Amino acid sequence: MTQERWERLDVWRQADEMAYQVYLVTRKFPKAEIYGITSQLRRAALSIPTNIVEGYSRKGDRELGRFLNVSLGSLAEVKYLIYFAHRLNYLSEEEYASLNSGYDKLGKSLWKFYEAVGGGAV
């Protein structure tokens, strides 16, 4: 099986793993939240790696930078949603700390990648 170009990106691997972790922890959220915070958090978490993939599959750094910018916005949304889920006691202290730390690390990597492709000029 051949590997896609974007699969070689460390930042994509981090984003993919964090989205996976979000899916795992949201399984235990209340059923009443399936169309609320569960859905919103999952969509935002998946938006990060999928925008990396779409941007990396486009032609040129300018296009990639636009999609990375969307990924950065989604990352901020995820950070807020995990904070809010923690306030509602949907996430334990450990789950919140792990997700928050993982998204902080991903944010640093994503920002470096964004800057490396000239994101500031987008």
Residue 50 lies inside a defined structural domain of this protein: yes
- Read off the pLDDT of each residue in 6-22 and give the average, rounded to a whole number: 95
User: How many independent structural domains does the chain possess?
Assistant: 1
Whether 122 has a pLDDT exceeding 50, the answer reads: no
Asked, for residue 27, whether it belongs to a domain, the answer is no
Q: Does residue 4 sit within a domain?
A: no
Q: What confidence score (pLDDT) does residue 1 get?
A: 63
CATH number, domain at 86? 1.20.1440.60
Per-residue pLDDT averaged across 36-65, rounded? 94
Share of the chain above pLDDT 90, in %: 82
Whole domain around residue 109: which residue ranges? 34-117
- Average confidence score pLDDT of the chain: 94
| pLDDT score recorded for residue 100 | 98
> Does a structural domain hold residue 25?
no
Q: Does 83 fall in a domain?
A: yes
23 lies in a domain? no
Residue 96 is assigned to a structural domain of this protein:
yes
Identify whether 2 is part of a domain.
no
Better-scored residue on pLDDT, 60 or 68: 68
| Confidence category of residue 121, pLDDT binned at 50, 70, 90 | low
Q: Over the stretch 47-57, which tens digit does the pLDDT of each residue have?
A: 999 999 999 88
Q: Hey, what long-range contacts does 50-57 have (CB within 8 A, 24 or more apart)?
A: 52/6, 52/9, 52/11, 52/12, 52/15, 52/110, 53/4, 53/6, 53/12, 56/5, 56/6, 56/9, 56/12, 57/5, 57/6
